[in-house]
Amino acid sequence: MTQQNGDARRMVTRLKENYEKLRKSPVKYTDKRIRYLVARLFAGQDEQLDIQRFSKVNQLIKERAGTFTVLTTNVRAALAGLLLKENRENLADVEQLFANYQALIEGKFPRTEYTYFAAQALMSLDSDQVAETIVRAKKVHEAIKQHHPFLTGNEDISMSVLLAMLDEEYEPSELADLTEFYFTSFDEIGFKKNNGLQFLAGISVLLCRKKDPMYVKRVRTVLKQLEKQNIKPQELFYSTIGVLAFVLNGSNFDQQFDQLYAEVKMLSGLRFDKNFQTALALSLYVEQKTSELSMEQTEQLMVSLTALIAIEQAVIVSAVVVTAAIVNTSSSNS
């Protein structure tokens, strides 16, 4: 067994162990895909998911949210995982999350479960920066909406906040224009116009901070690599494709992806969900390749690439689950 294959197998083994911990935990009624997303957050080297700590954070969020809340069990579990990943597991941390959420509501953002991801992103700021950033985020969101009035919605709140956290030298209209540059560029090379593409465009702005045609070419290179694997790009892993293009910097996939993909295909409960299999394998590949970046490259990144992917995939999976529930309810009542 090669070193790369061994690393891939260990990563998937940690993923499976984490998933089993979550499956057997007191945290119930969570979609298996969300469990895998949380498990993946702790599948990197020298990491492990402490299920007691995770359950504690999840329970703190549940109690703080109360009975009448827009927060679903799936998004709550994803938030608990993201907080634990950052070692934010105390009552004070959860109170900060909800304080940020309330500040977003007062800043004219809607009460949705997706707004909680924006609140979690704001936790990296000093408390005296939050209010100003929310005002700026609202301007960014409105500027992006001018380009895509029907596409831009609640799912874009977290990205608007992340973009607003960039240096103040970027005006909201400039950030929206940069986002539109990447949206249009990626549409031209085969991505479908959907919310996943808009999130990918936002990630590209966070990574490049400018219009970078070379980065677009690197994204095209990743698409060609996926085509060789008979993988068609899906909204669920649009953002992962963009991050991979950044960390691979024009290089081709190596054997480690092949091994990861083969291992993920054997995971329990996912054998008939090819899109999620692919999304999971790609995100694990990002995790491995990000760990190979130099300290200087890592410090240049404003946010965790792993967390960015998790947020976008949690949003998409949660939306799918909710839609399926509505369809099932409608069918039952008809």
Query: pLDDT tens-digit profile of 202-261?
Result: 999 999 999 999 999 999 999 999 999 999 999 999 999 999 999 998 899 998 999 999
pLDDT at 323 over 50: no
Global pTM reads 0.90
Q: Is 224 exposed, middle or buried (0-12, 13-18, 19+ CB in 10 A)?
A: exposed
d(CA 301, CA 331): 46
Q: How many residues does the chain have?
A: 334
What is the tens place of the pLDDT at every residue in 90-104? 999 999 999 999 999
pLDDT at 124 over 70: yes
Q: Any alpha helices (H) in 229-334, and if so which ranges?
A: 238-248, 255-264, 274-291, 295-300, 305-333
Closest C-alpha among 44, 72, 40 to residue 58: 72
For residue 282, name the pLDDT band (cuts at 50, 70, 90): very high
For residue 54, name the pLDDT band (cuts at 50, 70, 90): very high
Task: Give one word for 194, left, alpha or beta, with left for phi > 0 and alpha for psi -120 to 50.
Answer: beta
pLDDT of residue 294: 63
pLDDT of residue 89: 95
The separation between CA 230 and the C-alpha centre of its own chain, rounded to angstroms, equals 24
Beta-carbon count within 10 A of 250 CB: 11
For residue 297, name the pLDDT band (cuts at 50, 70, 90): low
More confidently predicted of 326 and 42: 42
pLDDT of residue 292: 74
